[in-house]
Homo-oligomer: A and B are copies of this chain.
Amino acid sequence: MEYNLYFDYENKKAEKEAFENVLKEYESQEIGYYHLPESSMKFKDINFEDFSEIAIIGIGGSSLGTKAIYEMIKNKFPLKKMVFLENPDPIDLIGKFKELKNPLFFVISKSGKTIETISIFKKVIEHFKLKPKAKNLKIITDPGSPLEKFAIDWGIECFNLPKNVGGRFSVLSAVGMIPLKAAGADIVSILQGAKDFRDRFFEKNELHLLKKASFYARNYKIYPVNVLFAYATILSAFKEWFVQLFGESLGKNGKEIMPVGHIGSIDQHSFLQLLMEGMGHKTITFLQIKNFDPDFKIPNINLPYLNATDFVNDHTFAELINKECEATKEALLAKEYPVDEIIMESLNLKNIGELIMYYEILTSAIGSLLEVNTYNQPGVEIGKTILRNKF
């Protein structure tokens, strides 16, 4: 993969500080996500009985990462259908229940008591007549959580994520890897791609990450927004994962780098105007997939009165969307935005693993320079207390 920064910035002190902070988290084993490429390898031989769909009952960090990977690969690799029962939206749930013929359910909650997840689980128990010892039900949660105790009581197979892996950093743990393996994904390649990037980073071979982190952290007051402009519809769920990762990790202590996700070229027809002529104060990251389908071409058809569009004839759709990305990048660079780009040469599982690890380490590096606790989320507790008192 290729990482290009289109802004001049050098702050060796900040880069050194970020590197040392992240290295300490990694080596001390204090923060768990760095080690998932090794510890999750044990899931590679897991096999479940044959089910027609994989249904995830989980929200936030328990579903976003899995969905991000699934949406990227579902049309390219042979996979079982995955259905995400995330939100207590009755109409959405009723629609999704109808899609499930012979599903394998995963109930996923780090704390083991997420109210949305357990409520949906109860509805699933009723609707799909789940019973103790059910083979079509698996649980993924923290060791010792109420949900694990329930699993033991009911005789349900249960997997753990490490306690020191936060929900939004958990996609490479059991949380994401087991359901994706159950759907048929090659998780070894995902983990290998993540590991390779992590190793190169700690060997100081991915220094662009530190430069970007120090620029973002030292200029968050000037650029309090980071727009991820991802050029493919299949990256829609990935941008949601990114929004949680940046938002929940870095938005605290009166500081933030607000993540905003957009999809190119769709949002050129939606959000680009504001970027071109609005107030500025944003960094912009382009994410593109270089060769994602070399055979899918715009046919050489000349339609009457539409010849002004013929300049793309015989080019691939990948070329069109990526040249749109280039054109938008150039237009925004001319407006002096701090721009960077991430280019995946092709859409494969190793690159997806790398992309995830890149963003996780980037978040850790920025958080350490902002001097926030990247891994907690104290701000969401008060809402839970208020909710409890409404019943």
**Residues of chain A at the chain B interface (Cβ within 8 Å):** 59-61, 64, 74-76, 86-95, 112-113, 115-116, 118-119, 122-123, 125-126, 146-147, 149-150, 153-154, 167-168, 224-225, 231-234, 240, 243-244, 247-248, 250-256, 258, 260, 263-279, 281, 292-293, 296-299, 301, 303-306, 308-309, 311-313, 315-318, 320-321, 323-324, 326-328, 330-331, 334, 347, 377-380, 382-384, 386-388, 390-391
Contact = CB atoms under 8 A, between A and B. Distances in A.
B122 A303 contact: yes
Number of identical protomers: 2
A76 B91 CA distance: 7
A299 B86 contact: no
B75 A150 contact: no
A118 B269 CA distance: 15
A226 to B, nearest CB: 12
Contact of A116 (B272, B273, B320): B320
Contact of A92 (B224, B233, B324): B233
Contact of A266 (B87, B377, B391): B87
A227 to B, nearest CB: 10
Contacts of A60: 266, 268-270
B89 A321 contact: yes
Contacts of A382: 276, 331, 334
A88 B267 CA distance: 12
Contacts of A93: 296, 317
Given A147-B305, A331-B383, 5 more contacts: A87-B266, A89-B231, A247-B270, A253-B277, A273-B377
Contact of A278 (B234, B258, B386): B258
